[in-house]
């Protein structure tokens, strides 16, 4: 039986194409006619064109020419345009699904008048599903263009100004959207309040970032989204915290499953908003507290909903809070938390989050608690479904040590983590605080973690030993 070259199998070459850069795809297209037929759609699937207004050399662009784009327009699915771009720079693309327009940042061109988005996107592509507009203003005609498109479901406005005549029309244009993202959007003129009878019946994802407080007070979009599943609100203004001092009507939150609100910097304020959300928090499975303190009061307020959480990410909380999470959240699959002390792990109960797939945690061990390391490893050994263990976040400003990944300290307890694929270890400073990993420890990892594909971090502060350990791992494809 003759062996067939895998690269002659269309399914294989098509899969390979998804890992190649554009220059590599262009080379593959030239190999043969069969390869051209396979790789050409991948070459033109995602296109970027940049336009500059150079006063010396004249206007010019980077990326495929207009003629080439027109020739292969039926293959284009994703198009990104940036610079001084206008509608005439785009030919009709019948199968285009995603369009991104990054107009040249007007902050760098103070004398230039801001342009308004008035493109006929239906003419560009009737199948367009996602549109991103950056640094272009929106007027009434702009909103009408959006409303007329039959398939537009995802809209992101970034650094966009909403003109006075479009304050009401913009919400009408968003009625059919499934995803809306407003980032650094400014409403010009008077109040941009939403008409009371406006309902976004299809909106499932809402992102609001860096909208000024005056506008934010008048934009209770969340109350108009009956099937919203994901909500992200972020602003640098501490005035936004004032919003939670008033009763929050959350009757429309019954479907929300993902909640990212990184603007409440104190434990008391987080506890307050969790209490006010109340029963509407029942369906939330994903909670990210990107900035702000999450302490004992927040933990108590969140307690009734521990059984629902699948994805929890906290950037500022104390060690005992983390222990409470590990001992209470049974359904957790992803957990990102800062430092936890070995003595808190020892004093806490058994970990119940045995569904964890990804754990990012910094484990700190005080000088007086070195004997607790085997117990810490024993707790970790219960996470048998774990595929990624990241310990890179440990804070060692106070000189405390870190958990030592060595057989002498109890590493052997982790033999049951057969699903582990990625381990992120500490940086060089952390390794310097303790005895370092040796060849026998690495050999144990190779022998016991059969699915291990990646180890990141410094294993040994000695560069010669570190190089030897790295070579050893490379020999096993790690």
The structural domain count of the chain equals 1
pLDDT digits (tens, 9 = 90+) for 173-229: 888 899 999 888 887 776 556 666 677 888 888 888 876 555 555 555 555 777 878
Considering the domain boundaries, does residue 418 fall inside one? yes
> Which positions ≥6 away from 166 have C-beta within 8 Å?
138, 139, 140, 142, 143
Report phi then psi at 462, rounded to 5: -75, 115
* Residue among 322, 263, 310 at smallest CA distance from 286: 310
**Cβ–Cβ < 8 Å for 114, 138:** no
d(CA 371, CA 354): 25
Calculate the alpha carbon distances from 288 to 217, 231, 261 in Å. Answer: 23, 11, 7
Give the pair of three-digit tokens for residue 317: 């909380």
Domain that holds residue 405: 318-478
CA-based Rg of the chain, rounded to a whole angstrom? 27
- pTM for the structure as a whole: 0.68
**Cβ–Cβ < 8 Å for 340, 317:** no
DSSP state string for 277-339: HGGGGTT--EEEE-SS---HHHHHHHGGGGGG-SEEEESS--HHHHHHHHTT-TT-SEEEEEE
What is the CATH classification number for the domain harbouring 347?
A: 3.80.10
Considering the domain boundaries, does residue 53 fall inside one? no
Considering the domain boundaries, does residue 447 fall inside one? yes
Considering the domain boundaries, does residue 419 fall inside one? yes
pLDDT in tens, the chain (478 residues): 456 677 677 777 777 888 888 888 888 888 888 888 888 999 999 988 887 654 444 555 577 888 888 899 999 999 988 877 777 777 889 999 999 988 875 444 433 456 788 788 888 888 999 999 998 888 888 888 888 888 899 999 998 888 888 877 888 888 889 999 988 888 777 655 666 667 788 888 888 887 655 555 555 555 577 787 887 777 655 444 545 444 444 455 556 667 776 555 677 777 777 776 666 677 778 888 766 677 778 888 888 888 888 998 887 777 888 888 888 888 999 999 888 888 888 888 888 888 999 999 888 887 777 788 888 899 999 999 999 999 876 555 555 677 888 898 889 999 999 999 999 887 654 555 455 788 999 999 999 999 999 988 888 888 888 899 989 998 888 8
Give the pair of three-digit tokens for residue 160: 């966009």
* Residue among 64, 61, 94, 59 at smallest CA distance from 76: 94
The SS3 call for residue 368 is helix
Q: Nearest 5°: CA angle at 284, between 278 and 287?
A: 105
Segments in 30-92 forming alpha helices (H): 33-45, 66-71
Q: Give Dmax (Cα) for the chain.
A: 78
Calculate the alpha carbon distances from 309 to 111, 283, 288, 302, 325 in Å. Answer: 51, 9, 11, 10, 10
d(CA 190, CA 182): 18
* Residue among 98, 101, 108, 75 at smallest CA distance from 86: 101
The SS3 call for residue 364 is strand
**Cβ–Cβ < 8 Å for 236, 212:** no
Q: Mean of the per-residue pLDDT values for the chain?
A: 79
d(CA 178, CA 410): 50
């Amino acid at each position: 039986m003759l062996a067939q070259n895998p690269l002659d199998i269309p399914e294989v070459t098509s899969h390979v194409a998804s890992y190649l850069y554009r220059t590599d795809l262009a080379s593959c297209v030239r190999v043969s006619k069969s390869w051209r037929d396979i790789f050409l759609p991948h070459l033109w699937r995602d296109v970027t064109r940049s336009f500059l207004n150079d006063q010396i050399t004249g206007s010019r662009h980077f990326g495929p020419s207009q003629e080439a784009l027109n020739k292969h327009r039926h293959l284009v699915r994703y198009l990104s345009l940036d610079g001084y771009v206008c509608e005439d720079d785009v030919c009709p693309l019948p199968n285009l699904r995603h369009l991104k327009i990054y107009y040249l940042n007007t902050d760098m061109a103070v004398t230039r008048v801001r342009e308004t988005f008035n493109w006929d996107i239906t003419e560009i592509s009737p199948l367009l599903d996602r549109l991103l507009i950056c640094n272009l203003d929106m007027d009434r005609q702009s909103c009408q263009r959006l409303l007329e498109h039959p398939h537009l479901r995802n809209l992101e406005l970034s650094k966009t100004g909403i003109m006075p005549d479009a304050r009401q029309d913009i919400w009408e244009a968003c009625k059919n959207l499934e995803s809306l993202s407003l980032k650094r959007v400014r409403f010009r003129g008077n109040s941009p309040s939403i008409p009371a009878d406006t309902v976004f019946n299809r909106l499932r994802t809402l992102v609001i970032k860096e909208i000024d407080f005056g506008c934010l007070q008048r934009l209770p979009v969340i109350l108009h989204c009956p099937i919203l599943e994901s909500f992200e609100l972020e602003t640098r203004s501490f005035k936004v915290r004032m919003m939670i001092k008033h009763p929050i009507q959350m009757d429309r939150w019954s479907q929300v499953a993902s909640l990212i609100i990184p603007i409440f910097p104190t434990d008391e304020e987080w506890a307050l908003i969790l209490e006010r959300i109340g029963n509407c928090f029942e369906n939330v499975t994903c909670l990210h507290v990107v900035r702000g303190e999450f302490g004992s009061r927040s933990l108590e307020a969140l307690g009734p909903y521990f059984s629902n959480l699948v994805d929890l990410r906290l950037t500022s909380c104390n060690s005992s809070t983390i222990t409470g999470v590990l001992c209470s959240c049974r359904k957790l699959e992803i957990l990102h938390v800062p430092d936890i002390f070995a003595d808190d792990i020892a004093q806490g109960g058994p970990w119940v989050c045995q569904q964890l797939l990804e754990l990012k945690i910094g484990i700190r061990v005080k000088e007086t608690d070195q004997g607790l390391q085997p117990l810490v490893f024993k707790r970790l050994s219960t996470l048998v479904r774990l595929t990624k263990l990241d310990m890179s976040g440990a804070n060692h400003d106070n000189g405390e040590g870190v958990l030592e990944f060595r057989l002498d300290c109890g590493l052997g307890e982790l033999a049951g983590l057969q699903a582990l694929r990625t381990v992120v270890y500490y940086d060089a400073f952390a390794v310097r605080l303790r005895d370092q990993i040796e060849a026998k420890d690495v050999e144990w990892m190779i022998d016991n973690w059969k699915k291990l594909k990646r180890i990141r971090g410094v294993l040994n502060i000695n560069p010669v030993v570190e190089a030897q350990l790295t070579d050893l791992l490379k020999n096993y494809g790690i």
